[in-house]
Amino acid sequence: MEITKKFQGVYDIDGNVATENLNQGIKVYGERLVENEDKEYRIWDPRRSKLAAAILNGLETFPFKEDSKVLYLGASAGTTPSHISDICNNGLIYSVEFSPKMMRKLADLSQMRKNIIPILDDATKPRNYMNLLQKVDAVYSDVAQPNQSELFMDNARLYLKEKGIGILMIKARSIDVTKAPNKIFKEEESKLKTNGFRVIEKVKLEPYEKDHMAFICEFSF
């Protein structure tokens, strides 16, 4: 087995991306566990997590450090948040989700992973959770909604630290199924730019996710 480090807390194991398991022996979504020496790794599935897909497709900007504070929008049952929880094992992942059904699963996960703070709320109303969080090093957004860019920018303006990084996963078909995805990506990019966000990097998520693009940006205060 060959293990190399890709980013802090992220590993390449024989061509797979993986994180070191914060909860040894426990799987979150049926992922494969791999033991090596005294460590256990969780294979990060790029078909279940857009962040893993972006990493495999060459993502270079990686804002997640051991002690990072992250605002995660659209946390669902916690698949991707769980890997960020492995990486930011001394940080906090404020995880916003508005579906009560998903939140029940996320709340269970947060019992085992103390760095995941579940927030049952609507990410289009970021002031609702103002009393629950501090400024963050990164805002990660994956909500698959028509207003996904606006929601991301509203949260980033309020909560992102100066020099913080935003990652916005755009699903073109959630914005307009009739338009060409590349046209949508251009329109969303120009929205980001006119609103003061500087796009540092763009990564397409094919073949893992069709018609998706990861936008990595900074906000100019």
**Binding residues for ligand SAM (CB under 6 A):** 49-50, 74, 76, 79-80, 96-99, 102, 122-124, 142-145
Residue matched to tokens 């049926």:
30
Whole-angstrom CA distances from 7 to 20, 152, 168 are: 12, 24, 19
Tokens, residue 116: 């995941």
- CA 193 vs. chain centroid, Å, equals 21
Q: How far is the CB of 169 from ligand SAM (least distance, A)?
A: 7
Comparing CB distances to ligand SAM, the nearer of 143 and 168 is 143
From the list 190, 217, 212, 187, the residue with the least C-alpha distance to 201 is: 217
Q: How far is the CB of 47 from ligand SAM (least distance, A)?
A: 11
Residue of minimal Cβ distance to ligand SAM: 74
Comparing CB distances to ligand SAM, the nearer of 76 and 85 is 76
Comparing CB distances to ligand SAM, the nearer of 69 and 171 is 171
Q: How far is the CB of 142 from ligand SAM (least distance, A)?
A: 4
Degrees, nearest 5: CA angle 204-60-137 = 105
Comparing CB distances to ligand SAM, the nearer of 151 and 217 is 151
